Amino acid sequence: MALFAAFVAVPAYAQTTGQNGNSATPQDLAKSVHNPFEDYIKVQLQSATGFSIGPHHNAGDSFNVQPLIPLSLNSEWDLFVRPSLSMTYQPSPHEQYGLNDLQTSFFVSPHNADKWIWGIGPIFQLPTATSDGLGTGRWSAGPTAALIYSNGPWFNGILTYQLMSFAGSRARGSVNQTYVETQLSYNFESGWYIDTDPQMTFDWTTDAANGWTIPIGIDIGKAFNLRMYGMGLQVGAYDLVERPDGAPQWVLRVQFTTLFPNRW
């Protein structure tokens, strides 16, 4: 649905354009790849392959689709809708393959923000997983917020949410999870960029030794124009310095992003 909406909204431009109507430079596109409050319809595809999972050191993979749909509320405020759905192969302790729970975030953000950009709203998680081991079996919701600093070649930010269950199968246990994603990136004029983007979580329903997931690593990517579209491709590796039992020891991430001009 997001891809269909993106193609419908594409104007007959010869080049990708930014918010001010000027042609976006490769550096602008690189920053737009990171930005969760960008005036593009964005479709992000990411494959995260985990290694050394479980006692037999197996490998697993999760493929994530995360569109970003910007909507103008009025001359002062924008609404950003950000669904996220993953399909996962989990080798241990019981081999499983299928869909995970669907998450959707809604951010309200000021329209004319420039150097400092912020957004706040709710996040919802629906029990769409195709097996018990790939989802929570609960309906969950909570607040989410992000703060971005963009100046020159630098693009830095933090995004966080808190999810708590309110309905669903009580036999599956409750959901109480904190998520914090910090980002630090340097974007060159050529469109190349260096980025660190660890996605940290803490599960309040388990013991402290298994609560934290903390990765440390780096991504290298390139943003470029292809006809009327902006695109970004990056590869990164992250070591999980803190992780619950059964989680991978390190992760290889490959991410591809397409930016569609927005007419909404």
Per the listing, tokens 């989802």 go with 135
pLDDT digits (tens, 9 = 90+) for 81-105: 999 999 999 987 778 999 999 999 9
**DSSP E strands, the chain:** 40-53, 58-72, 77-90, 96-99, 102-110, 116-126, 138-151, 154-168, 176-187, 192-196, 199-203, 212-226, 229-242, 250-261
123 within 8 A of 105, measured Cβ to Cβ: yes
pLDDT tens for 110-136 read 998 888 999 999 999 999 999 988 999
Whether the pLDDT of residue 13 is over 60: the answer is no
H helix intervals, 177-255 = 208-211
Task: Tell me the domain boundaries of the chain.
Answer: 2-261
Homologous superfamily in CATH for domain 2-261: monomeric porin ompg (2.40.160.40)
